Structure 1
Amino acid sequence: MNVWRRVLGALIVAVGVGAASTAFADSGSIRLTVVKGGWFLGANGGSGVLVYHGKRYPLSVGGIDAGLVFGVSKTEFHGRVSRINRPSDVAGVYGAGGAGAALGMGARVIALTNEKGAVLELQGRQIGLIANLDLSGLVISLR
């Protein structure tokens, strides 16, 4: 019986620690400019800025697209990053699968999560001529 109390106590502590780290997580605003292009295989790259506790942190963006990608587009994203405890938590690999097309201007909304649990909620305008059905990887790093 005493063993079960210890196991139950350990589970309660583990759940409490996990909930506490999420409960105290913070958020910031983010802007990204991403240029995407390809012919079957594609790539994307760009830059941005994270504003966290009033300080600006420059960002680099890069990645690849595997699938059907035809054309070139540029997207200006703005939004919010949540579930971070420090600016470096925004850095990481974000993955997404999707399909889309743009001819001229279009709107784009996306939500992504990295391996640290940071959540990006972005919206923006896409300009260009592109059609895609792909798996995309987006890597964000602090400069």
Structure 2
Amino acid sequence: MRDVLSVITSAFLALAAWTATVKPSQAETGTVRVVFGSAGVVAGVGSGEGTLTFQGKTYPFKISGASFGATLSLTVSEYEGRVLNLHSPGDLAGNYIALGAGGAIAGGIGVARLRNARGVIMVVRGPKLGAGLSVALARITITMR
């Protein structure tokens, strides 16, 4: 048990350091809100929807994904955060690789940092409802509606 807690603590610290090193570029920044449901044991799947606010306008999108790692969960999460390196709203669409961590027993918190092939970086955090614990690598797909 002590080794598991050590791994989880290390993962959270690494994720916090990785998130803190995000630097703004010449491209613009937007904000996102995402509602995402997931379930899994070792591997997880999930889907949801969200909105991007960019240059004063709101753009809806769908999100789906799968993860693999230390996962045992049945949760619904509501994330908020920033999207960096946007030149247009369509830059948000695509496949992302994400390192995420979170925990919940009736309620908890989750954080994630995602990056796509266009260099768009999404950093989100927010509450989770349900039960679960995860430190996982995920592949997320965002489709603009």
> Which TM-score band (shorter chain)?
0.7 to 0.9
| C-alpha deviation, 1:67, in angstroms | 3.5
The alpha-carbon distance between structure 1 residues 125 and 65, as it changes in their structure 2 partners (threshold 3 A), is same
CA distance in 2, matches of 1:40, 1:119: 26
- Shift of residue 49, structure 1, vs aligned partner: 0.4
Partner of 1:53: 55
Give the aligned partner of residue 137 of structure 1: 139
- In structure 2, runs of 5+ residues without a counterpart are 1-23
Q: Which of 26, 30, 41 does residue 39 from structure 1 map onto?
A: 41
> Aligned partners of 1:79, 1:41: CA distance in 2, in Å?
25
Counterpart AA for 2:66: I
Q: Secondary structure at the match of 2:127?
A: strand
Query: CA separation of 1:123/1:68 partners in 2, compared to 1, >3 Å: closer, same or farther?
Result: closer
Any idea what the Cα deviations from partners look like across 1:55-113, whole Å, max 9, x if unmatched?
11111000112234323011101111111100011112221245543211112222221
Distance 2:126 2:101 in 1: 16
Q: Is the 8 A contact 2:38 2:76 kept in 1?
A: yes
Q: Secondary structure of 1:116's match?
A: coil
Pairwise CA distance, 1:121: 1.6
The more displaced of 90-99 and 28-37 is 90-99
Report the 3-state secondary structure (helix = DSSP H, G, I; strand = E; otherwise coil) of the residue aligned with 1:88. Answer: helix
Give the aligned CA root-mean-square deviation in angstroms.
Answer: 1.9
SS of the residue 2:91 aligns to: helix
User: Against the structure 1 CA distance between its residues 66 and 59, is the aligned structure 2 distance closer, same or farther, given a 3 Å change threshold?
Assistant: same
Larger Rg: 1
Q: Which residue of 2 aligns with 1:90?
A: 92
